[in-house]
């Protein structure tokens, strides 16, 4: 039975569980209703039976006082004929029968008693018997009708739940199972349970199945003007063959610390773009200035930090730097067009830095930037249209000096 239930349709499983829960709740309510109705009927019957017994006791007390047993017997017969009591009997104080009228047939009978008083003395006891077969039959019919309603409600819940389960859950799982089913498995006999079908098709998928990633489309930050600071690591070209692996690793870590710290002040993104070339990309306008001005500030800071650290190092930190402007950004893995477009700018900067200029070079587009032209001094150079970064004007030079001291303090011990 458990295997049949497990292999059945998911909608049928849900319908059976829901119907069973509904039936159990309904049976509990039926039991509560049966107990409550029985208690109420017993209270009503007891009240009614006691009232009848007291009524006949008062009737025959006068006749019993005079000793007129014929009048007592007549009163008993009239009481049986006029009331719902099936049988009535009177007993004296010693328990001997003084009179009786009527008979009661049936399996369900109730007796009710009341004392017969003559003034304040006890003269006997009246016992009436009432048949309760009709009451029990009515109660049984009532309970059977409630049971029938409970069963009908459970069947209705079963049907509704099965339909909803088939529409909202089972059909969706079947569509998913068919969507991932391989052609070789479509004709295979499958279990009725939708979850087992889905599991079967999942297990049948090849282990090397991969889901191809799709691009999220162009991003706005990749399609705005970007300033590029190119750093040609001149010293590293000589150390790559002379330093051991551990020393070379420590040297490149220090270079990374210098450039990364300087770029962090101005929101630059560091990236290796050539064999001995690093690119720091700046885009958008911030409180620190335009992208071109922030790139020039970062270049000045890298150069100043390198000179200060060289005084306490045995190795050189000779870096050629140039700043240029590009119409697009560096791109990313989901959109490679900006990254391809900016390569011409990087090639130009690489060619320029290969001549090892001793100062930071600024392209014509960078020099035309408002922040650059108003906040720093520059002079022409012999390298095409590029200009040389001379110095920053107040208060920007003070800010760079504070950034320089803070960076040197955080870099700690020399290499």
End-to-end CA distance of the chain: 77
DSSP H/E element including 7: helix 2-7
Q: Which two tokens stand for residue 70?
A: 């014929």
Output the pLDDT for position 48: 75
DSSP H/E element including 305: helix 291-310
Measured between alpha carbons, how far is 402 from 390 in angstroms, rounded to an integer? 18
Measured between alpha carbons, how far is 334 from 327 in angstroms, rounded to an integer? 19
Measured between alpha carbons, how far is 19 from 163 in angstroms, rounded to an integer? 13
274 phi/psi in degrees, rounded to 5: -140, 175
Output the pLDDT for position 159: 87
Q: Is 181 helix (H, G, I), strand (E, B) or coil?
A: coil
CB 184 within 8 A of CB 291: no
Measured between alpha carbons, how far is 114 from 109 in angstroms, rounded to an integer? 17
Alpha helices in 166-290 (DSSP H): 171-180, 194-204, 234-239, 245-265
- In eight-state DSSP terms, residue 212 is P
Closest-CA residue to 330 (of 277, 282, 294, 291): 282
What predicted TM-score, i.e. pTM, was given to this entire model?
A: 0.54
Q: Which residues pair with 112 in a beta bridge?
A: 128
Closest-CA residue to 35 (of 147, 153, 143, 154): 143
Q: Cis omega (within 30 of 0) on the bond before 395? A: yes
Q: Looking up tokens 């958008």, which residue turns up?
A: 284
CB 11 within 8 A of CB 166: yes
Q: Is 186 helix (H, G, I), strand (E, B) or coil?
A: coil
Contacts of residue 203, Cβ cutoff 8 Å, sequence gap at least 6? none
Measured between alpha carbons, how far is 241 from 414 in angstroms, rounded to an integer? 22
Segment 378-387 long-range contacts (CB within 8 Å, at least 24 positions apart): 381/357, 383/352, 383/355, 383/357, 384/352, 386/322, 386/352, 386/361, 386/362, 387/361, 387/362
Measured between alpha carbons, how far is 363 from 388 in angstroms, rounded to an integer? 9
Q: Is 282 helix (H, G, I), strand (E, B) or coil?
A: strand
What does 341-381 look like in DSSP terms, one character per residue? HTHHHHHHHHHHHHT--SS-EE-HHHHTSHHHHHHEEEEE-
Measured between alpha carbons, how far is 205 from 182 in angstroms, rounded to an integer? 7
Q: Dihedral of CA 279/282/288/292: which sign?
A: positive
Going from the first residue of the chain to its last (415 residues), give the mean pLDDT of each consecutive group of 10, the final group possibly shorter.
Answer: 67 84 89 84 78 74 65 71 72 72 71 76 76 76 87 89 77 71 63 70 63 66 90 93 91 94 93 94 90 95 93 91 92 85 94 93 94 92 90 92 92 63
């Amino acid at each position: 039975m458990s295997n049949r239930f497990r292999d059945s349709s998911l909608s049928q499983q849900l319908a059976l569980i829901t119907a069973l829960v509904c039936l159990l709740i309904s049976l509990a309510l039926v039991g509560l209703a049966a107990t409550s109705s029985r208690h109420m009927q017993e209270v009503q019957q007891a009240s009614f039976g006691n009232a009848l017994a007291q009524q006949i006791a008062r009737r025959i007390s006068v006749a019993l006082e005079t000793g007129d047993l014929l009048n007592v017997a007549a009163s008993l017969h009239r009481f049986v004929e006029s009331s719902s009591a099936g049988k009535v009997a009177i007993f004296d104080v010693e328990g001997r029968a003084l009179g009786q009228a009527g008979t009661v047939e049936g399996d369900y009978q109730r007796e009710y008693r009341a004392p017969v008083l003559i003034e304040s003395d006890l003269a006997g006891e009246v016992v009436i018997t009432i048949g309760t077969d009709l009451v029990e039959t009515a109660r049984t019919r009532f309970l059977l009708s409630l049971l029938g309603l409970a069963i009908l409600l459970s069947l209705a819940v079963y049907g509704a739940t099965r339909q909803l389960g088939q529409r909202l859950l089972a059909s969706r799982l079947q569509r998913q199972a068919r969507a991932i089913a391989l052609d070789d498995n479509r004709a295979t006999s499958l279990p009725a349970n939708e979850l087992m079908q889905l599991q079967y098709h999942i297990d049948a998928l090849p282990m090397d199945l991969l889901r191809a990633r799709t691009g999220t489309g162009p991003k706005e930050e990749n399609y705005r003007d970007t300033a590029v600071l190119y750093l040609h690591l001149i010293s590293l070209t000589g150390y790559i063959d002379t330093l051991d692996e551990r020393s070379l690793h420590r040297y490149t870590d220090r270079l990374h610390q210098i450039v990364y710290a300087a770029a962090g002040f101005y929101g630059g993104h560091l990236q290796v773009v050539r064999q001995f070339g690093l690119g720091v990309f700046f885009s958008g306008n911030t409180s620190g200035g335009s992208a071109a001005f922030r790139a020039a500030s970062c270049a000045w800071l890298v150069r100043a930090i390198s000179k200060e650290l060289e005084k306490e190092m045995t190795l050189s930190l000779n870096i050629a730097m140039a700043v240029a402007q590009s119409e697009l950004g560096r791109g990313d893995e989901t959109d490679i067009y900006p990254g391809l477009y900016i390569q011409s700018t990087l090639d130009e900067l690489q060619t320029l830095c290969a001549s090892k200029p001793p100062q930071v070079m600024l392209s014509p587009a960078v020099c035309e930037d408002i922040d650059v032209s108003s906040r720093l001094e520059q002079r022409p150079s012999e390298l095409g249209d590029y200009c040389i970064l001379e110095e920053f004007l107040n208060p920007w030079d003070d800010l760079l000096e504070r950034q320089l001291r803070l960076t040197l303090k955080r870099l700690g011990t020399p290499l």
